[in-house]
Structure 1
């Protein structure tokens, strides 16, 4: 009995499948760039989420006026070290009867390489 070569199946040559070494290198470089971008964007996004949760919890406490909102924000900012992009004076506070709406907006530039930056515009408003 004769052993068949793995390149041939029933006398017909099989096509190779998979990625070449060059394709794997390009794929690796692309994935590394996406990973590095994710690392650079992670901190600003987590800060934004912290800010959004902070203003929502301040609103849930039921402050009466803008001064109380800003004081509560300053107290939270002393505890939460990751809040650095805005200050209490940057909050927009709208009091309409018993309903208080707190919002903020800011831009964050993230340096990528050389003179290339990623600009993210963050904004949030309490529900």
Structure 2
């Protein structure tokens, strides 16, 4: 066996991930999966808020807009914001409803992930 052949066979035997490396990667992916699983419902709720705001935009008065939003919020299980939290204004002839809220997700110990959502009816 030549030195070149021994060097090539040594390189081939060193491929792959060690068990410790595999555990580290699996732990990281599991922690990431837990965080993503907690973020997805907040993103879905944000989409429901946008839909409810666009539906409420057609109501004739401000109290009707708030009531329409609250009805949609009850149906779509929106808990982060209510009709009283909406900022309703007129931009020319168009009614514009805007909103802003945040959600906190507890990660571990004193660590939280804060998600800030804003949007409007345009």
TM interval, short-chain normalised? 0.7 to 0.9
Report the structure number with the largest CA radius of gyration.
1
Structure 1 runs (4+) greater than 6 angstroms displaced: none
Aligned CA-pair RMSD: 1.8
Q: Give the structure-2-normalised TM-score.
A: 0.84
TM-score, length of structure 1 as denominator length = 0.81
Structure with greater helix percent = 2
Gaps of 5+ in 1: 1-9
Alpha-carbon separation, structure 2, partners of 1:98 and 1:78: 29
Is contact 1:66-1:95 (8 Å) kept?
Answer: no
State the aligned residue count: 116
Alignment partners' CA distance in 1, 2:70 and 2:34:
33
Structure 1 range deviating more: 17-26 or 91-100:
91-100
Q: What is the aligned counterpart of 1:110 among 98, 105, 118?
A: 105
Q: Which runs of 5+ in 2 are unaligned?
A: none
1:89-110 deviations in Å (ceiling 9; x for gaps): 0001112453010111011111
